[in-house]
Structure 1
């Protein structure tokens, strides 16, 4: 079997300790990943430092939320980065632990891998308003980043972009995660028209027509997982040059570490 040049995984853990109890650490160690972005670690430095600074031979870099048991992201990497950037807005959302970026810069190339956790607005109007504030801040940040370096952002975006990205799209058009304003934001992020960001949804580049097999999140209510009533909320968003090197994508469902499934994409480039 041909070994990929760069394997990148993303997974919302919904609590790193809970995921570890379900076998996440052992699974992560044998994936062959070069980098792995994780979201919703729901733990602070003391807990992570004791148990989770490494998975396999990958070293972790983390952005912790100020509030205990809330949010938090990590990015595990086989290769030592040239720099690590923690946070992006210097305010509200940095306090929630939502962004960690590892850089792998050389004399000939500037390249970043980012693990990011977008807010959910499903708990009420206040959090939906916060989600819109986040989208308003992250968009120009990514646009500026794209102007100076290649990058892949992985994470739980908490938006299903198109009808093919969730099972019950008709009944969810007024629900957070599939609101017209959120979907329009994604369209602008992925658009190539003037003023649009021009990023690439890498999974959709590889699998433009996939429906039920694309889901990465299932509600814990009812029999959503058993019946595959899911949403595609977890993404690889890349600059076009890196996206063009993507060779294969896989959503792992053999074991369940959280309410999300890991998304792995293999790329034909080296860090």
Structure 2
């Protein structure tokens, strides 16, 4: 048995376009065990054809063709999987279509649950933001349920920069979706001490869920490392980015982190997505 489980997550911004631009070369070289994808924007047949027969593939497409979509590909077959958030007849399940996919895998003598998450991008003071609030509510409720499990990794594009360190130009984005105080307060509670009262950056109070931000824990109190850059201007070349792609894990799994990396592209022209992969090794 391998000594570690390598879990990689990336918003591919359309898997067919990503493969045309070089994603396969990255994947061939990275020795990934579990691959979580967001914004797949393809049919099952496309995903199966591009990834190939060497992978066990779970795919949860969006209800709207050509939008969203999450997938989990693994070298070993999952033990079980679940799709979506909320009750079967609830509106929040519709809001999570193509955005939330859970899979359980053997992890040494234990089980690890990997979740591919694609949170709504939102738009302040519009119905798009209302959908994001509904998703964040359903997500935190599910995280409360999952927190009783020992080894869970919720990975992917959360579309929120939690702290000022997570966005290069944070001052200019305080009223924009992705860095609204109310959004950031969800993450204050997610990463707050479990069971304790947490005061959010928006002055709200709630109960901490006790999850761990692997990226911030590993990198420390530094700017970034960023995972997404706008296509406008020289954002990538100047590293004017956002850290919105996370590995959010239970404390027991956080103790097993052996390595964390953002696979930032060597140049703008070498990018195959506007997001960079986030790769974490977990000791088995």
Q: TM-score, normalised by structure 1?
A: 0.91
In structure 2, the partner of 1:208 is 220
5 Å-filtered alignment, 1:108-147, equals 109-122=110-123, 125-147=126-148
1:208-258 deviation per Cα after TM superposition (whole angstroms, max 9, x unaligned): 12215x000011112211211100010000000001111221111234111
Structure 1 residue 263: Cα displacement: 0.9
State the Cα distance separating 1:147 from its structure 2 match: 1.5
Unmatched 5+ residue regions in structure 1? none
Q: Does 1:93 align with 2:95?
A: yes
Give the corresponding residue for 1:158.
159
CA distance in 1, matches of 2:36, 2:111: 19
- CA distance in 2 between counterparts of 1:52 and 1:236 reads 22
What is the alpha-carbon distance in structure 2 between the residues aligned to residue 193 and residue 149 of structure 1?
Answer: 14
SS of 1:92's partner is: helix
Aligned to 2:15: 16
SS class of match (2:246): strand
Shift of 1:106: 8.1
Number of residue equivalences: 263
Shift of the 11–172 alpha-carbon distance from structure 1 to 2, 3 Å rule, reads same
Deviation at residue 193 of structure 1 after TM alignment = 4.5
Secondary structure of 2:82's match?
A: strand
Match of 1:247 in 2: 258
| Structure 2 residue runs without a partner (length 5+) | 196-206
Partner of residue 27, structure 2: 28
Shift of 1:49: 3.5
Pick the aligned partner of 1:78 from 75, 78, 82.
75
In structure 2, the residue matched to 1:69 is 66
Change in CA separation of 1:72 and 1:53 when aligned onto 2, cut-off 3 Å: farther
Q: Work out whether residues 44 and 65 of structure 1, in 8 Å CA contact, stay in contact via their aligned partners in 2.
A: no
Counterpart residue number, 2:232: 221
Cα distance in 1 for partners of 2:56, 2:27 equals 12
Deviates more, 1:144-153 or 1:161-170: 144-153
2:182 aligns to what SS in structure 1? helix
CA offset digits 1:5-27 (Å, max 9, x no partner): 11111100000001000111232
- SS of the residue 1:222 aligns to: coil
Q: Indicate if the aligned counterparts of 2:153 and 2:250 stay in contact, CA closer than 8 A.
A: yes
2:201 matched residue in structure 1: none
Q: 1:114·1:152 contact (CA, 8 Å) conserved in 2?
A: yes
Distance across 2 between alignment mates of 1:86 and 1:163: 32
Cα distance in 1 for partners of 2:131, 2:85 equals 15
Deviations 1:60-103, CA, capped at 9 Å, x for gaps:
21111111110000111112111121222233124x31111111
Tell me which moved more, 162-171 or 99-108. 99-108
